[in-house]
Amino acid sequence: MSLERGTEPPTRILLWRHGNTDSNAAQRVQGQLDVPLNDLGRAQAAAAAQVLAGREPQLLITSDLGRAAQTAAALAGLTGLSAERDVRLRERYFGAWQGLTTPEVKERFPESYARWRAADPDPGDGIEPLPDLGKRVSEAIRQAAERLPGGTIVLAAHGAAIKYGVAALLGWPEEMLPTVAPVQNCHWVDLIHQGSSGWRLSAYNVGV
């Protein structure tokens, strides 16, 4: 990236979704349940870590849930960084749905499921409202960037946490959110912050 004379270098945030789990494979709602990576997820994390290590990150922060922490560990092993834990990077809390498959949710909670399918940000049944999710994740992103101006930071997190944290950070309107695809396992979002330009999205859903 070329810089104008006197312009500070950009701060880069790479929001990295965890690798695959057995719950992902079974289309089971994980939410904040602490589910480990499976063999595929560990292989995905190792492959993605090779690419992300090439970005020369100086700071690594992870959700405290095991699947994200295990993913971050693959990058820590290559870079020598210690993975800090931040509970704000946790996945969206899915209340009574956690641990159920999608068909089970549809059968047991038809009303909230219909609201969720209709992109209601607060569908009920104890599910964390999207404004609350976006607020906590975007705060974690901003504070990480403030710690290392001009540096590269990797945040290991979760699909909904990344999507809605980015949306809150960039001020995307609510009606836009259903048109944005989820981030796949072990893919990442590339954000840049620089001076008066503020926050910009450089890449979305990038993988090996």
Domain edges within the chain: 11-93+131-206, 94-127
Measured between alpha carbons, how far is 136 from 139 in angstroms, rounded to an integer? Answer: 5
- The reported pLDDT for the residue numbered 165 is 98
Binding-site residues for substrate, please? 17-24, 67
Q: What is the pLDDT of residue 195?
A: 84
pLDDT below 50 — which residues of the chain? 1-3, 5-6
pLDDT at 126: 97
Q: What is the pLDDT of residue 8?
A: 82
- Annotated active-site residue 91? The verdict is yes
Name the residue among 89, 23, 88, 12 with its Cα closest to residue 56: 12
Structure tokens at 91: 């996945």
Sign of the CA dihedral with 51 first, then 61, 182, and 184 last: positive
How high is the pLDDT of residue 30?
97
Catalytic, out of 91, 158, 187, 193: 91
DSSP state of 14: E
Catalytic residue among 4, 8, 18, 104: 18
Superfamily designation of domain 11-93+131-206: Phosphoglycerate mutase-like (3.40.50.1240)
| Residue 193 annotated to the active site | no
pLDDT at 1: 45
* Binding-site residues: 17-24, 67
pLDDT of residue 196: 81
